[in-house]
Structure 1
Amino acid sequence: MKSIKFLIVLIILFNCKEKGEVASKVEVVIEDQIEVKVETEDEIMMDKDFLLGKFDYKTHPDFVKVDSKLSSKILFIQTETYDAYLKMHAKAKADGINLIIISGTRNFEEQKRIWNRKWEKYKELEPIERAKKIMEYSSMPSTSRHHWGTDLDLNNLTNSYYDSGEGKAIYDWLSTNANDFGFYQVYTNKAKGRTGYNLECWHWSYLPLASDYLTAYNKQITYKDISGFEGAEYAKDVKSISDYVNGISEKCKRFTTKK
């Protein structure tokens, strides 16, 4: 009887493997019961080049150009992100708030240009300190959420802008309403122990997509995948994945957990 039970388990596990699933729980009681319980969940496996930003979003079927009336320059984001943003923008406008996208998708090459320029700018610093200085606000190529077409920079890239006047009205509105449309501020105040990038009042992420991409990133990407730009060899030393890619707000982490 025992051999039959073990055979059942092996067959179930083999079938899970063939279907690309993982067994999340296997319970076998040999003595008094013959219950075998297997629960499975689909693995989130995605194209690594996409996760690393190594693709052309302008020709990607899931990306769309943002209407020039809604952005400060030519920008592309994911269609699903855009649809959600249009609803949020309409609600904000009705409430007297003017939102404008000033940065959307950036692929590996675009992030590389930003990074290498700043690497040269801070050349008086030692390499690790130089990388950390850049990473106060800018990501290493292959580690930016902007690669995914889910993250937006809105209105102004200066935190002090949101302390008073129009900026405060915009930030207060986003803090109250943005979550209803799927957008979350990922880089909040670090006073409560959040690691990574400094506070960014302007950076809002569409989590219904981005949370899955982060899960896939953590499953599929290692420090060996981060290369091809100045200082890339220090990615592990500065903990670019553990402290920066995953250095998001607690609210965002809870959203990911619920998914």
Structure 2
Amino acid sequence: MIIFSCKEDKSTKEPSKKVNPIISKIQKEVSKEIVEVNDIDKNFVLGKFNYRKDTSFVKVDNIHASKTIYLKKEAYNSFIKMYDAAKTDNINLKIISGTRNFYEQKSILERKWQKYENLSPIKRAQKILEYSSMPSTSRHHWGTDMDLNNLNNSYFDRGVGAKEYQWLKENAGKYGFHQVYTSKANGRTGYNMEKWHWSYMPLAKQYLKFYNSYITYDDITGFKGAELAEEINIIKSFVNGISKDVGETR
């Protein structure tokens, strides 16, 4: 606990109104830290909450999304600025996926688990993890990450898609957004490249830091294949398998 006191002003016998700049800075930093910590808990980073009822989330306007999508307010507000800037350059951005909680991610994984039933459990998990996350390990739980325009890398290799991707690479960082799943040529682990996946790092880096500090393999459970998470090294290789330019990894 930090205790702040006021010195007595001998000329007036009243507490001095002078503000010590060092103390003021400490107060602001402590206040900021409290806000950040209160905004994060284990259920949140694991996706075990209802984002539709969470007041820090907001429904994305239809003009910006292809379906009903929710995002963290701060991330969405920044996206709107990026969207407007892109429009002035004749680039149209559309959010096609945003927040997904544990149960939505479980549905996706278990549908694919059934699809690849001809594979051994470990091979089945590895196949799914090329592009899809295990529940409790997805950045989409946090409301900071979004998929834009198309879910195929090839779309962004030519024509309109190439122009959109180039614009994002040159400008998204100005608004806090970064492509976290880049090429694996330089040793990045985890998911394959996803040119469509952009993360709002001012918030996401805080959530990843919390995740690395408090989440263990005992927390990753409750879905088919969960017992393989530690064998696959899901936390180090996938949760932290992002571009070194944008994230805080172990």
TM-score of the two chains, using structure 1 as the length reference: 0.82
Q: Percentage identity across aligned positions?
A: 58
Match of 2:68 in 1: 74
Does structure 1 residue 203 correspond to structure 2 residue 197?
A: yes
2:59 to 65, 71, 88: 65
Shift of 1:69: 1.3
Q: 1:47-83 deviations in whole A, cap 9, x for unaligned?
A: 1100100000001010000001110100000000000
* Structure 2 residue 187 is matched with structure 1 residue 193: yes
| AA of the residue aligned to 1:72 | S
Pair 1:249-2:234 in alignment: no
Report what 1:35 is aligned to: none
Q: In structure 2, what residue type is equivalent to 1:137?
A: Y
Distance 1:229 1:116 in 2: 7
Residue-by-residue CA offset, 1:69-101 (whole Å, 9 max, x unaligned)? 110100000000000000000000001000000
Shift of 1:129: 1.1
Q: Which residue is equivalent to 1:115?
A: 109
Q: Specify the code of the residue in structure 1 equivalent to 2:200.
A: Y
The code of the aligned residue for 2:98 comes to: G
Matched, 1:221 2:215: yes
1:155 and 2:149 correspond: yes
* Unaligned runs of at least 5 residues, structure 1: 1-14, 17-39
Q: In the alignment, which residue of structure 1 is the partner of 2:133?
A: 139
Which 4+ stretches in 1 moved above 6 angstroms?
none
Equivalent residue of 2:237, what SS? helix
Partners of 2:231 and 2:161 lie apart in 1 by 36
Shift in Å at residue 144 of structure 1? Answer: 0.2
What CA deviation, in whole Å up to 9, does each residue of 1:157-211 have, x standing for no partner?
A: 0000000000000000000000000000000000000000000000000000000
- For 2:139, the aligned partner's letter is R
State the shift of 1:104 in Å.
0.2
- SS of the residue corresponding to residue 64 of structure 1 reads strand
2:178 is matched with: 184
Q: Structure 1 stretch 40-49 or stretch 160-169: which is displaced more?
A: 40-49
Q: Give the letter for the 1:249 counterpart.
A: S
Letter in 1 for 2:50: D
Q: Secondary structure at the match of 1:118?
A: helix
Write the mapping of 1:20-35 to structure 2, written as runs, cut at 5 A.
Answer: none
User: Could you tell me how far apart the structure 2 residues matched to 1:230 and 1:177 are?
Assistant: 39
- Partner amino acid, structure 2, of 1:66: V
| Structure 2 residue 159 is matched with structure 1 residue 165 | yes
CA separation in 1, counterparts of 2:55 and 2:61? Answer: 17
SS state at 1:102 partner:
strand
2:232 counterpart of 1:238:
yes
TM-score, scaled relative to structure 2: 0.84
User: How far, CA to CA, are the matches of 1:170 and 1:223 in structure 2?
Assistant: 38
Residue 94 (1) aligns with residue 88 (2): yes
Gaps of 5+ in 2: 3-28
